[in-house]
Amino acid sequence: MYDARQVANWFVRRAAQDGRSLSIMSLLKLTYIAHGWHLEIWKSPLLNNRIEAWQRGPVIPDVYHAFRNQGVQVSTPVPLSESDVPDYHQRFFEDIFRLYGHLDAFQLSDMTHEPGSPWESASRRGHYALMFDDEIRRHYEAKRSEAAG
């Protein structure tokens, strides 16, 4: 498992390769989506951080607080003691970026607000409610089934 800030740093660096920055909302959603697909593919969490249901969707507070001082647009990785990312995770993150990195923050946010989503379920318990990995995994398993069906 990774500290979500390390995964977020990967996305910041990857966007910079394309001469882009990411909005903080996009960064949060890409990191969350990577976690969701990791749960679906490997049946294990990618992140060891708390994920909460905020008004605009899933938020990893550690990522939000680490990057928010950069403003709306994030262009610099945060200082962090990072471990190496194995090749299979590099490919996985690249796939997530290729599939979702071109979407704007509101498109990504809309994706995380789908009816029956883990965010919707957690939001019923109140804003800032904890989002559970089992619910996130089931949601992404359903997305895979829909895509295959």
Count of domains observed in the chain: 1
Tokens of 126: 């109140």
pTM: 0.97
Alpha carbons 113 and 28: distance in angstroms, whole number: 14
Question: Can you give the residue range of the structural domain that contains 121?
Answer: 4-148
In whole angstroms, give the CA distance from residue 97 to residue 93: 6
Query: Which residue matches tokens 């249901």?
Result: 53
Q: How far apart are CA 71 and CA 139, in angstroms?
A: 31
Helix residue ranges per DSSP H, 24-132: 24-42, 61-67, 87-100, 105-112, 118-123
Q: List phi, psi (to 5°) of 63.
A: -70, -45
Q: pLDDT tens digits, the chain, 149 residues: what are they?
A: 999 999 999 999 999 999 999 999 999 999 999 999 999 999 999 999 999 999 889 999 999 999 999 999 999 999 999 889 999 999 999 999 999 999 999 999 999 999 999 999 999 999 899 999 999 999 999 999 998 87
The answer to whether 47 and 59 are in contact (CB under 8 A) is no
Give the C-alpha separation, 31 to 140, whole Å. 14
Alpha carbons within 13 angstroms on the beta-carbon side of residue 88 total: 4
Is the CB of residue 37 less than 8 Å from the CB of residue 112? no
